[in-house]
Amino acid sequence: MRSCFNAWIVVALVVVPVLLSLRNPRGETENTETTTSFSDSSFSVKLANTLPFNQRIRDGSNLEYDFYRDTCPQAEDIVRSAVTRIYFDQRDVSPALLRLFFHDCFIQGCDASLLLDDNGDRNRSVEKQAVPNQTLKGFDKIDLIKEEVEQACPGVVSCSDILALAARDSILLAGGPFYPVLTGRRDSQQSFFKEATDQIPRPDDNIRRTLHLFNLRGFNERETVSLLGAHNIGKIGCDFIQQRLYNFQGTGQPDPSIPPDFLRQMRLNCQDNKNVSSDEFSTSVISEPESVVVHSDSGMSYMQALSSSVSSGAGFDTHYYQSLLRGRGLLFADQQLMAEEKTARLVSAYASDDGSTFRMDFARVMLKMSNLDVLTGPQGEVRLNCSQPTSS
């Protein structure tokens, strides 16, 4: 047992740092004042705790590698096994869990506040009821994993840690990069409906608003462009494309920036829906806007967005960025990455190699995201049921 533990320490402190040490992309010039350098080859689990954040963000410095090694040493194995089992039964669980994780972390940090129910209280609104969150899936999968962990270690492992681990494991199963997840998060006792309604990025946001929302949470342009690459997997639902195709910014016409051949292709996949409202259109630009009962099941992936003459892999490669270079972004907010010189250079850089630069950047920024504004120590609680606070 000790030798296995030591092996994991070696992986975390030696192998992972080598894999995650980054060079400056060819499309990005050095700017030490406004960007975080990713060229430091001394990256380690310790450094992961001290990545720069703005002052309002708790940086996760109280998180630990293998936090549950004494109280629930099998916790991460249970999560990994459950996610693997679910994935081979339902492949779209990867983008669903990734999007769930992003929506949780983006609002008041990675604290599982998104998972809370209103428990029938009509005077109380919770995050999952906010319009941008109404198409989220995967809540039941987190509940299932939590039940398995609770059977082994009652009242020990937080829902926020389970969500962070499950998102990482699902990304890996979908062909994405590995990144270390530090643990020791605590669960929020409250949910943030108004913040979720107002602050989740929208698919019709322009580049300035997208960069502003991410910058408020400590992410620079490079990190933002890398995070948006999560669209490599999953499907963009037609409900979140239709206004761009049929009533762009209330004009009754399509977005004039869409190439005519691509517009025809998108309209074949997404028929006109006169009932799409601006409220229904408000949703996240991260991962796939999945459907619920009131939404259409149809949609497109970024694999479809590329022309048949362009070769691409099936997962975390460069096809998202190649699509943007060709003007074939599915969401307006995605294509807007080409509207500013610096983000356009980053898109070009990510699209110009075999995907290794993007994968390394994505791993690092996901580690940073997972430490965003976390609760630790005496803060928050460990829920027994992820949808209900333990203490009221």
Reported as a single tens digit per residue, the pLDDT across 330-343 is 999 999 999 999 99
Give yes or no for residue 111 having a pLDDT over 90. Answer: yes
Closest CA to 166 of 87, 107, 281: 87
CA distance 127 to 195: 8
Residue 108 in tokens: 């008041």
DSSP 286-315: SS-----TTS-S-EE-HHHHS-TTS---SS
- How much of the chain exceeds pLDDT 70, in percent? 74
pLDDT of 214 reads: 98
Give yes or no: 103 in active site.
yes
Give yes or no for residue 37 having a pLDDT over 60. Answer: no
pLDDT of 119 reads: 80
Residue 68 in tokens: 């549950």
CA distance 390 to 392: 7
Interval 75-84 mean pLDDT? 98
Local confidence band at 234 (pLDDT 50, 70, 90 cut-offs): confident
Q: Is the pTM value of this prediction over 0.85?
A: no
Arithmetic mean of pLDDT over the chain: 81
Asked whether 314 and 303 are in contact (CB, 8 A), the reply is yes
Q: What is the pLDDT of residues 363-391, one digit of tens each?
A: 999 999 999 999 999 999 999 999 999 87
Give the residue, 269 or 22, on which the prediction is more confident. 269
Q: What is the pLDDT of residues 201-215, one digit of tens each?
A: 999 999 999 999 999
Residue with tokens 């994968």: 359
Interval 18-41 mean pLDDT? 40
pLDDT of 297 reads: 54
Local confidence band at 301 (pLDDT 50, 70, 90 cut-offs): low
Asked whether 200 and 253 are in contact (CB, 8 A), the reply is no
Give yes or no for residue 298 having a pLDDT over 80. Answer: no
pLDDT of 272 reads: 83
Q: Give the distance from CA 248 to its chain's centroid.
A: 26
Local confidence band at 224 (pLDDT 50, 70, 90 cut-offs): very high
Give yes or no for residue 103 having a pLDDT over 60. Answer: yes
Interval 174-178 mean pLDDT? 94
Q: 67-89 burial, b for 16+ CB within 10 Å, e for fewer? A: bbeeebeebbebbbebbeebbee
Cα separations in angstroms, 151 against 144, 242, 358: 11, 45, 38
Local confidence band at 287 (pLDDT 50, 70, 90 cut-offs): very low
Give yes or no for residue 312 having a pLDDT over 60. Answer: no
**Lowest-confidence pick of 147-151, 154-158, 201-205:** 201-205
Of these residues, 103, 231, 295, 319, which one is catalytic?
103
Give yes or no for residue 11 having a pLDDT over 60. Answer: no
Asked whether 106 and 192 are in contact (CB, 8 A), the reply is no
pLDDT of 9 reads: 44
pLDDT of 50 reads: 38
pLDDT of 159 reads: 98
Residue with tokens 């913040």: 195
Interval 113-120 mean pLDDT? 91
Q: Which phi and psi (to 5°) does residue 385 adopt?
A: -125, 125
Local confidence band at 133 (pLDDT 50, 70, 90 cut-offs): very high
Residue with tokens 């979720």: 196
Q: Which phi and psi (to 5°) does residue 246 adopt?
A: -125, -20
Asked whether 213 and 221 are in contact (CB, 8 A), the reply is no
Diameter over CA atoms, the chain: 66
Asked whether 199 and 123 are in contact (CB, 8 A), the reply is no
Interval 243-247 mean pLDDT? 94
